[in-house]
């Protein structure tokens, strides 16, 4: 099993969010970061079995879901989604995952 701690939409090597405050751009970067971490851990998106999505604003759910869904086109993993008061560095979205290797 591979347990990925929460990913936020930082551009690797920086403290800058992809797209600034744009939740769709941040979600795209979260998923790209997750993909790189999955690959480094010997897994892939099709082996993800559970995710947890944390949102700064539940009103962003549809936008986040549209980007998220592109990475899980078939047989998406089980998912929980919560709105939280504040995310690290004031991110708009954070996603953690569990995958098989």
Is residue 58 flagged as an active site residue? no
Between the alpha carbon of residue 96 and those of residues 31, 33, 60, the distances in Å are: 10, 11, 17
Q: Coil, strand or helix: which one is 72? A: coil
CA–CA dist 83, 58 (Å, integer): 5
CA 72-52-20 angle, to 5 degrees, is 80
Active-site residue, from 2, 25, 81, 98: 81
CA–CA dist 92, 67 (Å, integer): 14
Residues designated catalytic: 81
């Amino acid at each position: 099993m591979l347990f990925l701690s929460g990913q936020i939409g930082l551009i690797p090597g920086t403290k800058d969010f992809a797209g600034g405050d744009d939740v769709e751009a941040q979600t795209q970067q979260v998923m790209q970061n997750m993909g790189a971490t999955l690959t480094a851990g010997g897994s892939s998106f099709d082996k993800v079995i559970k995710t947890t999505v944390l949102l700064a604003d539940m009103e962003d759910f549809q936008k986040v879901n549209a980007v998220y869904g592109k990475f899980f086109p078939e047989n998406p993993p089980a998912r929980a989604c919560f709105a939280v008061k504040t995310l690290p560095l004031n991110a708009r979205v954070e996603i953690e995952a569990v995958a098989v290797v």
